[in-house]
Structure 1
Amino acid sequence: MFDGTQKRVACMWFPRLPCERVLRARPIEAPFALTLNQKNTDRIYCLTPQAEELGLQRGMSFADARAFCPTLVSQPAQPDLDTRFLSSLRRWATRYCPWVGREGTDGLVLDVTGSAHLFGGEEAMLTDMRGRIDRAGLTLRLGLADTRGAAWALAHFGEGRIAPGQARDRLAQLPVAALRLEPQMVVRLQRLGLRSIGDLLTTARAPLARRFGTELMLRLDQLLGDCPEVIGPEAEPPHFGVRLTFPDPIGLFADVMAATERLLMPLCDKLKTHEAGARRLMLSLRRVDQGSQQVELRLAAAIRDPARILPLFARGVGGVDAGFGIDQIRLEATVVEPLPVQQIGSMARQASPDRLNDLITRIGTRIGLENVQRFLPADSHIPERSFTIAPAAYSAPDSGWVCLRPRPLRLFPPEPIAASGMQPPARFKWRRMALTTARATGPERIAPEWWLEDDAWRSGLRDYWKVDTREGRRLWLFYTPQNPGWFVQGEFA
């Protein structure tokens, strides 16, 4: 037994976290591994015990792994999703103590000083941790000791708990890798015959410090508690939400808009403090009959200006059924993007896109932001593939097309015309109009992109001509040498 003032640290290590995150959503019976591209080579990032039994290991190239195990099932690793999953586990671990931090990319460290008695003691607390994590389908290794370094070493190379004051005797049998050293330093120590922590403890410190530097001494002191190591819990992300409760219910449009304006002021101030802007806002209105209605506002760009946001709520608020009255309003920024502070004034007079973004937002509230689209240049010399269409709210305008030859304002599928020869016809009919060629500029030869399948370009090369007609039409014609024929594909302004 020990008093509640004795520092106690627990380490939770999830050795197969990336794989088990994927297998929780979609179990696979076959050998499974995740791959990560490192230096232009796909290597094993994480694997299951079934794959390890077949001789596979982390760091092995994926080609070698498939040669060892043809039935290996693999997926690309997603470290960002693993980080989010570990953050969820960190929030869950706060049920045991308030001070929970990350330990690398696959572990957690908990300062459980004075909290183990709430679970019936340290053994009962560790048993509870194992049981809950096991039901979640994860592999867990635990270590509990007086210091963070000792808890980490125990979780990775021993597992279990060390009673207060017994760390030196228990940890002496662990390998030097348990000190959280770089792999190169571990190899250097092993070559000198220093294979365990006990070997280091019985060696004079001065020669070790001269040969291996201060890092080795620091890790030893952290392991034994001679050098304290802080456990810093992660700060919770800011919550961008405000609420207003009324003593008497309201129901008029002007009253609801006034309340929304009152909520927008502190919300935008908080967004400004965190240099962020709202892309999606949710206005929740609770009625006195306990019913509620929501007004969602999706913005074309990140905004934190109340004067610009308030008028955009007018359409949604106008369609709200207040019933017998609204007694509470809540405004929350559900999607937030970084919006750094920008220079304004005479030194930064540039065309502001705010009015265009507000127009896109207004139109998007009626037909949907995805339906307000813009053309963007694409890297292709084929006329039909030289542009893409993207939602204007989720794309940035490009500087423009880089084209050595003019392109028509209007493009349409090729329309055949009756003509012969390799030169543009002097007279031809197009869309029931008789046209006479006044001037022809060209040709511009465009070859098909052989690496893409396109039925429209199977005829091969095309020779394009810009044809000005006496009737005022300025057309874009092309001739196909392999399969002789003339077509109209565009019209200039």
Structure 2
Amino acid sequence: MLWACIYLPHLAMDGILRRRPTEGPLVLVDGPVNARTIVSANETARAAGLHVGQRLSAAQALLSQFDAIPYDRESVERWHRFLAAVAYRYSSEVSLLPHAIVLEVSKSMGLFGPWPRLESMLRTDFTELGFRHRMAAAPTAHAAHVLTTVSDGQAVLSVEALCHALQRVPIAKSRLPANAIAALPGMGIRTVGQVLALPRDGLRRRFGAELLASLDRLTGDLPSGLELYRPPDTFDLRIELLHEVENQSALIFPVRRMVDDLAAYLAGRDGGVQRFLLRLEHREGRYTDVPVGLLASERDGAMLFEFARGRLEHVVLPAPVLALRLIARDLPAFIPAGRDLFDERPASALPIGQLRERLRARLGDRTVYRLGSTTDPRPERAQVVADSGAGYDEPSPRPTWLLAHPIPLRGPSPRILAGPERLETGWWDGAEACRDYYVIETSLGQRAWAFCQPGEQSGWMLQGWFA
């Protein structure tokens, strides 16, 4: 087995910075109101002398102007699980560790390639999402977790190499039980290699079975004991804006970020989205909903953003917006569209599905739609506008373009191409119909669908046109 660990040392700060980009000093604080302590600081704040563990009062005495934001544990947990869903794209065995994500990748390398290529793909995904990270690979999940604290980019691909790599790991970075980390340096033991060389009976008497179990999980003599993560079946993301927004254009950047997060989540689930909701939150619990519905499942971030922006442009804000929320509950399977091996379309040409959705976003749902069928065989009642996702099986040789009401066909007699198709129905509602339908060609060369009375070929009534 081979486990990859993605260590996220700045998870809380990165979650803030990706929605609040700033060049000024910024810190996260936690603790009682009268004894707030800095738990994270951005580079500008650290350069000014602020550091983790410093009292807020001492930081304010050192630096007069900086932003202090309360540390939000729930938000950090949401980002942790969101990134686990992103990593799920590369492995079905994903687990959460403190400030880290581990995933089993030995089976994934058959699909994504050797570890250096897979590592590059993981780094690209996390970097584009705005989360700083360190990464390592090892035969056990806990060893990979430990190696990320020592250096970035270590790849230990065999059990023999793992034993050698663990020899040099300092006790302070070993993630062994806290009582062992505190006591072992006083005994002259400063590396994991030295601990592994000690008699196990003595370690058990001094520190209990917990230390031995931790060592065995490091080396692989015990299973990892980790609970596997499964991404939820819904996507729900909320961000608070820095100030009240009264102009739609100011919503474009946060909406783009949220839609990109949705696309990353969908890639992790190997699924798509068919409809989602943008909720614009105002004061006093009021909100404006902007539904985005697609005719087919999609997951491309740029495409989803364009549809969301097109819907947003038609919204008149009734009040300033304080927060945004994106909710996606309809997450069907995603099946990529087929492409010809020798595709002769221009490079700038859009697939028909993307063109259709772009037109719907710009022009409205009622402008571009899909037809659905009814149980009524009468042509003027056989078609309805289908809900998103519903298909229409065209009953050949009937045309797709049916007129709302039949009209007389003027001019010379048409040429019959196919038919007749006898239709005799409607007796149950007083609108009985008895007709013979034909596929015809008019004197102008148009292909049409028309009918006349049974047994006759005159008095033609036009019912629809073929493309």
User: What TM-score, normalized by structure 1, do the two folds share?
Assistant: 0.46
Task: Point out the structure with max Rg over C-alpha.
Answer: 1
- Higher RCO structure (Cα 8 Å, ≥6 apart): 2
